[in-house]
Structure 1
């Protein structure tokens, strides 16, 4: 929209000059000022088609006046620029009514694209945000995390289904909690369910509940997770591990907002769904392991999470935050030496944020020095261990964490008998699914790759309830 009027508000004269010239080259009529007072004066004489504003200005906060401006200029798109590039800034900008948010330093091409989009359609938001950064679950200022913050900001004001994607340990549940805690359902329950941690035969009872006498051992009525989350958010973690029959029931619930408990009682619910997975769901669909229609129901808004190795200086931000939390939990207060920081930056972090958190707690506990030396980092990260051994160690660590869940909640008692078979099934199920996906459902090639007899593979697939899917023609 050439000729559109744009008002730029920033206390940095260099930014006003650079942004103004860039937008004038695009054919826009630009006026630039450096304070809230100058903005108010400009708005009396210059009715803009779009407003670009900084947050921290010499005479106040640019976000605070956005609602008053929008009350007078209802359809005015507002783009917020901020050096305070945190999740709270992104969400608050959206909830104050801003059309878009760009962290400083910003890319001029990204800004001009945001201007084009803003002029094409006005944005709006609702609600308020009273969170401090210290209370937020997500930490990071890197460009990849800014993209995550902007996506979260765009979904907190609605009930669209969200699918969080990323490697294990990247913080998918933290994203789900942020969406819940900053949205309109924050006063209602947030109920997380890990599909990979529930025995296959118990998943439907776990999700939908059961009536007394519905099956052997059902001595009392039990409320399912859907009913517990009524009015709030249900977080379905590791959705790729959900059996096909449970996927079918989940799809019906998403379509009708109602379900039948195991035993026959019909329940209506109002639940927002946030799902997450580290798996390649399109590949599982191709292999017949995941319903395509369910995938599209869940994947309304995808939020991909970057691995820690791609987050630059966030590694040190997170490390120092984890050391502070460890001290708050009673462990000795520690800080990192310069060389130790260098070691953390250079590490590949196959376990992502979870691995870093565990390492910082371990260092806080075992370091003899208040300043953690690089040598201790080297010893804990096993820098001299071959890469394959590090991968194996990481898998073992993951299994240790997973197996610990079997013993949670039983107090001095132990889990029910049959633990070996349940653990074996939990290990085999993702292995078989990944192998079948890699060979496009060809059982003969899958058996060869696994090094087992084809009949054995078929038998285990049946026992585990895995559908092999479409057979490859090659």
Structure 2
């Protein structure tokens, strides 16, 4: 352990000062301890200390009044707050005024030293500045990543940007296919035109033609909306056959749809994307072979995130910056956390990584994302192994879990109240993930869940679901 780190300890209880001083001295830290807030403030103002550990109630001042002054003078100085007043309000107040960690008394000494190590392991100002600069630069780019698989994608995009050819983008769900399409549009000659998107997997089959071609009552449809620009057809493998026939006419120029604003047929570049095997769909009679050949003029295959793990650090930092700009707390991420992210399989690809980063920003108080935090979230979200006989439904997963639970019970069976316990286990992650998806917006979350807002608020309280606090 390096001895250049100095810890300032403030507590009016001499025994606690002694225990903490001895513990941190044994770990190789320099330690100064005081029994009042005035001395602590003096040390901080003189530039002493790399970490402050302080009780809330001091003989001369309450630390909740002192901490804002510390934050103003030394905004990068981490402060761990400890208190015997173990209430929710104490923890909330500590978080609101910028404490790195809140540790209730009586505390476990190992927990305290672990919190101190996390605080002192945060990136230095220069490291944080470099990472932020890289994230700022990356955020301005349509795609992020410097790995070998992405370099091949970039080379293909560069060759196709000015060609105005129809392009088919292949890749797993969440890999970033729409970002590739946007890059082709934004960097090409049609950049001043409209980039119009339709996700064919999300539109009811009976409404696909209306969405694409309009219905003649002022609703012009995506095709005319994209006139002069790009029409991006996401999940093209889900397009109904009737709509495929009409799309084929658009591509070969025989479609009769007229843009009423110009009196001409729309001039669009068609870019399609899919995570499905179109050749297999052709064999099943679900996709037109002639349309496939029209779309497959130029092809870009986007690698899954597990095949470009070297890009994860840059992606994670960019998502942290984006989350902060959208109102979530600013956070850094350490090397251990990045290594754990790189070791994960990412079945949901880049979208899953971004959602995980947002969730951590919303639900964790720590300024630094560590491997412990990442591990906890990945364990909570890891799906059960897939059933090779077919797709796994929620009902199947629940049944498997309950079957194992009953198998482990004695002959008398589970204790009473099983129904409510199972509902409780399902409700909590459902509400937590919905709040994460809506970035803490309870009105929107209630709408998605189909609940009254007051009902949702009560469930959040009863289930102990952590929520992101609105940024002031």
TM value normalised by structure 1: 0.52
Query: Which residue of the other structure, out of 226, 233, 236, is the alignment partner of 2:233?
Result: 236
Q: Is 2:211 the partner of 1:206?
A: yes
User: 2:379: which partner in 1?
Assistant: 382
Alignment of 1:353-432 (within 5 A): 353-382=350-379, 387-388=384-385
User: 2:425: which partner in 1?
Assistant: none
User: 2:305: which partner in 1?
Assistant: 308
Q: Is 2:187 the partner of 1:182?
A: yes
Shift in Å, 1:258: 3.3
User: 2:276: which partner in 1?
Assistant: 279
- What does the per-residue CA deviation read over 1:146-197, in whole Å, with 9 as the maximum and x for residues that have no partner? 0000011011111100000000000000000000000000001000011111
- After superposition, the CA RMSD in angstroms is 3.4
- What does the per-residue CA deviation read over 1:436-471, in whole Å, with 9 as the maximum and x for residues that have no partner? xxxxxxxxxxxxxxxxxxxxxxxxxxxxxxxxxxxx
Shift in Å, 1:328: 1.5
Moved over 2 A (4+): 131-134, 257-261, 383-387, 389-398
Change (3 A) 1:235 1:384: closer
Shift in Å, 1:137: 1.9
Higher CA-based Rg? 2
| Residues 210, 222 of structure 1: 8 Å contact kept | yes
Query: Which residue of the other structure, out of 215, 220, 225, is the alignment partner of 2:222?
Result: 225
Shift in Å, 1:386: 6.8
Change (3 A) 1:138 1:384: closer
Change (3 A) 1:257 1:133: farther
| Residues 257, 268 of structure 1: 8 Å contact kept | no
Distance in 2 (CA, whole Å) between partners of 1:133 and 1:384 is: 27
User: 2:115: which partner in 1?
Assistant: none
Alignment of 1:234-273 (within 5 A): 234-256=231-253, 258-260=255-257, 268-273=265-270
User: 1:65: which partner in 2?
Assistant: none
Alignment of 1:421-460 (within 5 A): none
User: 1:196: which partner in 2?
Assistant: 201
Q: Is 2:147 the partner of 1:150?
A: no
- What does the per-residue CA deviation read over 1:328-387, in whole Å, with 9 as the maximum and x for residues that have no partner? 212111111222112101100000000000001111112221111222111111179674
Distance in 2 (CA, whole Å) between partners of 1:208 and 1:268 is: 12
- Unmatched segments (≥5 aa) in structure 2: 1-135, 398-428, 439-443, 449-472
| Residues 350, 394 of structure 1: 8 Å contact kept | no
- Unmatched segments (≥5 aa) in structure 1: 1-130, 212-219, 406-410, 416-474
Change (3 A) 1:377 1:293: same
SS at structure 1 position matched to 2:158: helix
| Residues 257, 266 of structure 2: 8 Å contact kept | no
| Residues 188, 232 of structure 1: 8 Å contact kept | yes
SS at structure 2 position matched to 1:139: coil
SS at structure 2 position matched to 1:144: helix
| Residues 258, 266 of structure 1: 8 Å contact kept | no
TM value normalised by structure 2: 0.52
Aligned length: 266
Shift in Å, 1:257: 5.5
Distance in 2 (CA, whole Å) between partners of 1:160 and 1:226 is: 17
SS at structure 1 position matched to 2:233: strand
Query: Which residue of the other structure, out of 165, 175, 180, is the alignment partner of 1:160?
Result: 165
Q: Is 2:296 the partner of 1:299?
A: yes
